[in-house]
Amino acid sequence: MNRGYYTAAQAMLNQQRILDAISNNVSNINTAGYRKDEIVLNTFQEQLFLVNKRTETSGMSYQTYVDTSKTNLEQSGFEYSDSPFDVAMYGNMYFNVSYGKENGRVFQTRNGQWGLDNEGYLWLDGAGRVQGENGDIYIGSDAFTIDERGVIRNENQEIIDTLLLTYIPPDADVHKEGDSLFLYEGDPVEIPADEEFAVIQKAYEKSNVDTVKEMTQAMEAHRMYEAASRILRGFDSINQQAVKIAEL
């Protein structure tokens, strides 16, 4: 009986986590460079078998739980504009932003909706200055161009700097900071020889959230949550009846 309680309650918690992730994804559908979160489910027994190198599962019941959330790094589409401060990236390369004035940590991002700060440096609103190979990039005005390799030139075609780009494998685990900043915590990976990438000025990458897919998953999670809730109430009713019988 207690196992039934725990299983139903855990199922409700799992579906609640999934609904929370979907809600956050949908709320960021218009955030440039946003990468959706996906909930990864696991079971205690699977983890136990992995640690003990066992494969026998006969006669076992599985207690499913939320193992972690994973950020989906899948490429998204572009939105084109007339602003030179809108910059998109094709491929698995990421821009770098110095996040926070105090610690100056460098994060990766696909958010290319940039601007100028009060001192004329290229920056991402709410984060920090965009990084070039020589550090903070001073632009000073909107009279600049960026080619497909990330080389920035002024109106006289003089090179200002080159965007600092970081390669992150498409299946990598990343730490998300805010809505569109990432920190790749794995071992540094060299850019594969066959990796194709291009910087595109006057465009920005949209979020990779598919509204139809997210809403479909939300309805499925909601139905499963309700089903687990009914099962939990059923176990509670059976338990109450058992208590009454025991009192006779």
User: Which long-range contacts (C-beta less than 8 Å, at least 24 apart) are formed by 219-227?
Assistant: 221/15, 221/18, 221/19, 221/22, 222/15, 222/19, 224/11, 224/15, 225/11, 225/12, 225/15, 225/16, 225/19
Same domain, 83 and 169: yes
**CA–CA separation, 30 and 26 (whole Å):** 9
Same domain, 95 and 191: yes
Do 135 and 157 contact (CB within 8 A), yes or no? Answer: no
Same domain, 99 and 145: yes
User: What is the chain's length?
Assistant: 248
Same domain, 88 and 190: yes
Q: Model's pTM, two decimal places?
A: 0.77
Same domain, 155 and 170: yes
**CA–CA separation, 106 and 104 (whole Å):** 6
Same domain, 67 and 83: no
pLDDT at 226: 83
Q: Tokens in use for 7? A: 């299983």
pLDDT tens track, the chain, 248 positions: 556 666 777 777 888 889 999 999 999 999 999 999 988 876 544 444 444 454 454 444 455 555 567 899 999 999 999 999 999 999 999 999 998 655 568 999 999 999 999 999 999 998 899 999 999 999 999 999 999 999 999 999 999 999 999 999 988 888 888 888 998 877 777 788 888 999 999 999 999 999 999 999 899 888 887 887 777 777 667 666 666 676 65
- Residue 176's identity, in one-letter code, is K
- Residue 210's identity, in one-letter code, is D
Same domain, 122 and 187: yes
pLDDT at 36: 93
Segments forming the whole domain that contains residue 163: 78-205
Same domain, 200 and 213: no
Same domain, 67 and 93: no
Same domain, 61 and 86: no
**CA–CA separation, 142 and 114 (whole Å):** 11
Same domain, 200 and 214: no
Same domain, 154 and 231: no
pLDDT at 59: 46
Q: Work out how many domains the chain is built from and give that number.
A: 2
pLDDT at 45: 47
- Residue 155's identity, in one-letter code, is E
pLDDT at 47: 45
